[in-house]
Homo-oligomer: A and B are copies of this chain.
Amino acid sequence: MKTLKVALLGCGNVGSQVARILLDDAEDLASRTGARLELTGIAVRNPDAPRDVDLPKELFTTDAEKLAENADIVIELMGGMEPARTLMLHAIGHGASVVTGNKALLAADGAALFQKADAAGVRLAYEAAVAGAIPILRPIRDSLSGDRITRVLGIVNGTTNYILDAMDTTGAQFADALAEAQRLGYAEADPTADVEGHDAAAKGAILASLAFHTNFDLANVSCEGISAVTAGDIAAAKDAGFVIKLLAIAEKLENDGEPGVSVRVHPTLLPRTHPLAAVHGAFNAVFVEAENAGELMFYGQGAGGAPTASAVMGDVVSTARRLVLGGPLGAETPTGHVPALPFEKVTTSYSIGLEVTDQPGVLAAVARVFAENGVSIETMRQTIHSDGAGTAAELRFVTHRASEAALAATVEAIKGLDVINSVTSVLRVEGV
């Protein structure tokens, strides 16, 4: 039986689990692969740092470059841009296939890396980069290759789903739910990348690239996080039969007769009957709409050492099988180009909350603004509060689909009305 040399770069949360599986399940992996997978070393900055898993000391090295040079498969789990990028290129240059979970690097610089891998005839696999354990990239690329995907809606960030789910269940404000998530280890001390949607944006760009056979540039993702979502937004959504989720939405659209791709990340109202509404806690799910397949959903753990290691090892075994069987490899990645659509070109629905005093006058004035901007109202709900200072009313509108530009203009014009105290929330709606 052939032996394939596997080098591991990085030994954190995920890397240590990958090392454990390679060592403990060696026999099983060999029977499934047709080759022995030999872990030749683990490159880390500090070999003496404490690890989650007890691993043989002699495997550790600080010479990542040398390790990568002498491997058939290099597993990059260092994260970040450098030295990950340089080491991956070094490995590819020496004829190694690369398995990575580095979403930030792929979203920022994937096109160049795929090209290098293709030119070198080696595989570059990255199932672990999106939605952790959930097999989603391979189904999109292979299983749906005979269909046309029209839309992908993903809950691809566990931290924000955990926070929004907690707010929905307990009625907590964002800051309290975030603090609790940090206490339980679901959110990092600096939660910016998760909470502001940057992590979801990178995954959205990768999903869009595969789903629409293009290289979607991360810079073209419109991104809005959840830090402005209030307990009031969630309560009002609940009252109307909705749940608020942070979604990465990738869509293929027509724009003046030409195809275009839009990717956006924002808090979104979903009907509570939508399959994504049942995704609780830190779980992830990707909902795919395709012309022939209809609606599909892929659900599972989006993060964590062992779950993400499962996705990494799936890529390692698939790559190894191909190396055993022979035949060309290649990055198997998108090569076409579909232009990115600016958010203004997209049609969405809005839920708009207004705090007003003089309601009859307001409703007429607001309705006029909607009409002037060509936006049609689907539902309106009014809630009246009375206190010593007088009577205030809250109006909540849900619109029909309209262009993002028309909706933004509508909100701007409403803000300018004398009769409005404040615009309390503007949230987008999907799945209706």
Tell me, rounded to whole Å, the shortest Cβ–Cβ distance linking A114 to chain B: 16
User: What residues of B have a CB within 8 angstroms of the CB of A326 in the complex?
Assistant: 327-328
**Known contacts A300-B293, A325-B327; A314 and B21 CB within 8 A of each other:** no
User: What residues of B have a CB within 8 angstroms of the CB of A336 in the complex?
Assistant: 31
Task: Pick out which of these stretches binds chain B: A132-140, A163-171, A388-396.
Answer: A132-140
The verdict on A39 contacting chain B, using a C-beta distance below 8 Å, is: no
Question: CA A274 – CA B386 in complex, angstroms?
Answer: 42
Number of residues on chain A facing chain B (CB within 8 A) = 57
Residues 136 to 155 of chain A near chain B (Cβ within 8 Å): 138-139, 142-148
> Please, what's the 1-or-0 string for A285-310, where 1 marks a CB less than 8 Å from any CB in chain B?
00000111111111111001011011
CB-based contact A299/B299 at 8 Å: yes
Copies per complex? 2
The verdict on A4 contacting chain B, using a C-beta distance below 8 Å, is: no
The verdict on A246 contacting chain B, using a C-beta distance below 8 Å, is: no
CB-based contact A148/B28 at 8 Å: yes
User: What residues of B have a CB within 8 angstroms of the CB of A29 in the complex?
Assistant: 146
Which residue of B is nearest A330, CB measured? B325
The verdict on A275 contacting chain B, using a C-beta distance below 8 Å, is: yes
List the interface of chain A (C-beta within 8 A of B). 17, 21, 25, 28-29, 31-33, 127, 133-135, 138-139, 142-148, 213, 275, 278, 290-301, 304, 306-307, 309-318, 321-322, 325-328, 330, 336
The 8 closest A-B pairs by CB, nearest first: A327-B327, A146-B313, A135-B143, A135-B139, A292-B310, A293-B310, A133-B293, A296-B300
